[in-house]
Structure 1
Amino acid sequence: MIRQGVAVHMFDRDLQEVIEKENKEFLEQATERAAEIEEEPGKVALSPLENRLPTVELGDFSDDALETYRQQAKIADAVDSDEFNRRLLRQGLLKEEAGILVPTGFGFLLFGREPRTAMRQAGLLGLIHYPSGQSERREFDEPAVMIPDLVEKWLKDKLPNVFDRGQAHRQERPALPFEMVREAVANALIHRDYSIDGAKCQIVVTEDTIAVQSPGEPPSPITLKQLQDFSAPMLSRNPELHFVFARMGMAEEQGLGLVSIRDRAKELGLPRPRYTRDEPYLVLTLYRSAEGATKALGEDTLKALSKSERKGWQWLAARGKAKSGEYAETMGVEARTSRRHLGHFEELGLVRRTGSGPSQRYEVT
């Protein structure tokens, strides 16, 4: 419908959950029927990655990647067994041509021993910018199912002594919110636009932030504002990838991983994660400390904020949105001071005003 110029608006996430709950039995049956349907001759592929890749054979799959999937997804069938391969066939990760099983693009991304030999945009680039001014990079060219764990291990190995503020402090808080990073990396690999072959996913770590960059715009009809509000409906650009990562416990079963990342940040007392666009990337910024959202502001913006405004911005960045009265009560300031602070934030482009009258709120952009 979208390709034919029809405007499509999806239900909000909370209403989608109600619909799914009320139709749970029907949806489960429909999913089972879809999994049993063999590929029809002449079927139109929605993505080129549904087709086989030239010069790639089943033997180019990594045994370690397949075994990782089997174990984490709790699949009883042995790797390379007929039952296991039929499972991959039904999932769209293999195709049968002239009686021979060959990998699809999605299958090679997930399990290929060297995915970048056939797809330049595969994998992920990791960058750490140290406070000393030095940087370190690491190319993750392994099968996609192995990358989130490899990224986590790399960061754990590199970061414990990076920002040394005392042993007691390091014990109190890990160097990074690793579970959030792991899910953000998985989501970037799952939902990116693989038609952009000149860009790959990236993770950039600084003293205050972790930015996970995923090539492409939000999958239509999802908007950037819905992502920023953490209200985006459940939709995946690459459902074949999403299904595998979800079975392995590295992604939400439905949706874009928004809720778990937002809620985990709140539990850790960290500022609300932030979605932005930096062509051609969709960027998810995670903050490493409660002060991270303030310290990550540009130099000019920081200079424009008073000491009390910086304190207020730190609180608002973690909360995401608030009314003027809530800000005044929490910060212990008068109503007119609250309005002045929030108005200044709006002038600087840090928040936007929504609603009017008693329901008026200020939302972090």
Structure 2
Amino acid sequence: NDRGEQDYVLAMRVYFRDDKLVETHDGKAFVREGDRKRALTENEKREIRLNKGELDVEAEPTPLQFSEDFNLKLLDQYREQYIRKRQLADRYSVEDVLSLSNLGKRKDGRFQPTLGCVLLFAKDSRQAVPGAFIRVIRYEGVEEQFGNKMNAIADRVIDGPLPLQIAQAETFIESQIRNFTRLGSDGRFVTRPEYPKDVWLEAVVNAVVHRSYNLRAMNIFVKMFEDKMVVESPGSFLPPTTPETVYDNHNPRNPRTMWGLYFFDFVQCAFEGTRRMRDAMREAQLPDPIFVQRTTGQFQVSVTLKNNHEHRKQYVRAEAAVGINPDDYASLSESEKMIVNYLADQGKVNITETGLVIGKNWRAARDILDGLVKKNILERSSGKFRSRHRFFYLKNSAKVRPASKGKY
């Protein structure tokens, strides 16, 4: 070298540790990304420690006061269910049951709840974990748009104690799930939802139970599109579970929270939830759930449920099928079914909009609409022949609930 000395290379092998985060003497830790290394942030280091079992976020103390900051009705329900399922004597108090559940302990004459207890029972768990909520968004189309192209048509934030979050999310998501009707071989209508309820509800419950509450500012998203539903939750899979082994491995990130929800009958703790999801999707002739894990830049797990978007063009929305004669239904073309389904969502349509929906010119769209009027499926408003204010409606429009719009 320029000093006239021999160059040399010092090679060190750092072995992988599955039980702890490996750091340098000054507290730095790195991750390999391609052909480079990147220093981990403190939040990323903490997340890895949680994954390796060095830390236990559920057991951390919290500033919330017991029982002033807690939902007493929910605590009483938990106590009753816990005593019933564990076959305990009725003398156990709420504090006794929470202590047995490892959700807190008595100290200096006062019960001190853990973070797990706050998540399950606090009136406002976001005081401790700002991202402890579920945001459900329904989009128009098959992808998320932004800015002046924003295409969200329903948007709700659901927070509070986890058992109530799950119950409220179930109610709202079910109101956004579309049901489709086809004519069976026996001449009777057969109605099916976009996705089996057991599947999407399990996906939401899994997100609540297995998300990382260490990533305190991040929330759960449920995104509903024309062709799929995506549930995104903060944090990665807890090793050794991966997207490839998710049906065979079970390693809960938040076991106390999971068992807490067990006593509310939201989870079975039988370690077979993902297999039930896969089997139910196959029974409905839908693709298997798609699990994806992100561990660089952002820790996140997502599960995508795909519906039979193309095949569904043969079906009519269940709300609209109520007023259609089976003989008329059997004669509907694909374009006519698309119009009926559009009206089930939007409530009204003019000729120009119809052309855009079915991909046909103005004259062809008008002829199809007139044909549906003659079949007694649609009715038209009064107005000039070419007026954009002349609309067509389903004859049973009073029974049709348009999709929710705006923010809740």
TM range (shorter): 0.5 to 0.7
| Partner residue, 2:252 | 236
| Partner residue, 2:95 | 85
The answer as to whether partners of 1:130 and 1:207 remain within 8 angstroms in 2 is yes
The answer as to whether partners of 1:152 and 1:178 remain within 8 angstroms in 2 is no
1:214 equivalent to 2:230? Answer no
Q: Residue 158 of structure 1: CA displacement?
A: 3.5
| Partner residue, 1:100 | 110
Q: Distance in 1 between matches of 2:197 and 2:283?
A: 14
1:118 equivalent to 2:134? Answer no
Identity over aligned residues, as a percent?
Answer: 23
Q: Distance in 2 between matches of 1:126 and 1:170?
A: 31
1:58 equivalent to 2:67? Answer yes
Give 2:57's match in structure 1, choosing from 36, 44, 48.
Answer: 48
SS at match of 2:93: helix
Change beyond 3 A, Cα 1:118–1:74: same
Q: Distance in 2 between matches of 1:212 and 1:85?
A: 34
Q: Residue 91 of structure 1: CA displacement?
A: 0.9
Letter in 1 for 2:120: L
Q: Residue 212 of structure 1: CA displacement?
A: 0.9
The answer as to whether partners of 2:177 and 2:193 remain within 8 angstroms in 1 is no
SS at match of 1:58: coil
Q: Distance in 2 between matches of 1:234 and 1:68?
A: 28
The answer as to whether partners of 2:124 and 2:160 remain within 8 angstroms in 1 is yes
Aligned pairs, how many? 250
Letter in 2 for 1:244: G
| Partner residue, 1:150 | 168
1:258 equivalent to 2:274? Answer yes
Change beyond 3 A, Cα 1:85–1:274: same
Q: Distance in 2 between matches of 1:167 and 1:123?
A: 40
Q: Residue 202 of structure 1: CA displacement?
A: 1.3
The answer as to whether partners of 1:127 and 1:205 remain within 8 angstroms in 2 is yes
SS at match of 1:270: coil
TM-score normalised to structure 1 length: 0.60
Structure 1, unpaired ranges of 5+: 7-43, 294-365
The answer as to whether partners of 1:274 and 1:285 remain within 8 angstroms in 2 is yes
SS at match of 2:244: helix
* Deviates most, 103-112 or 116-125: 116-125
| Partner residue, 1:140 | 158
Q: Residue 48 of structure 1: CA displacement?
A: 3.4
Q: Distance in 2 between matches of 1:177 and 1:68?
A: 29
* Deviation string, structure 1 residues 138-165 (Cα, Å, up to 9, x no partner): 11111101222211111223344xx777
Q: Residue 244 of structure 1: CA displacement?
A: 1.7
TM-score normalised to structure 2 length: 0.54
Q: Distance in 2 between matches of 1:97 and 1:283?
A: 40
Q: Distance in 1 between matches of 2:305 and 2:82?
A: 28
Q: Distance in 2 between matches of 1:170 and 1:203?
A: 30
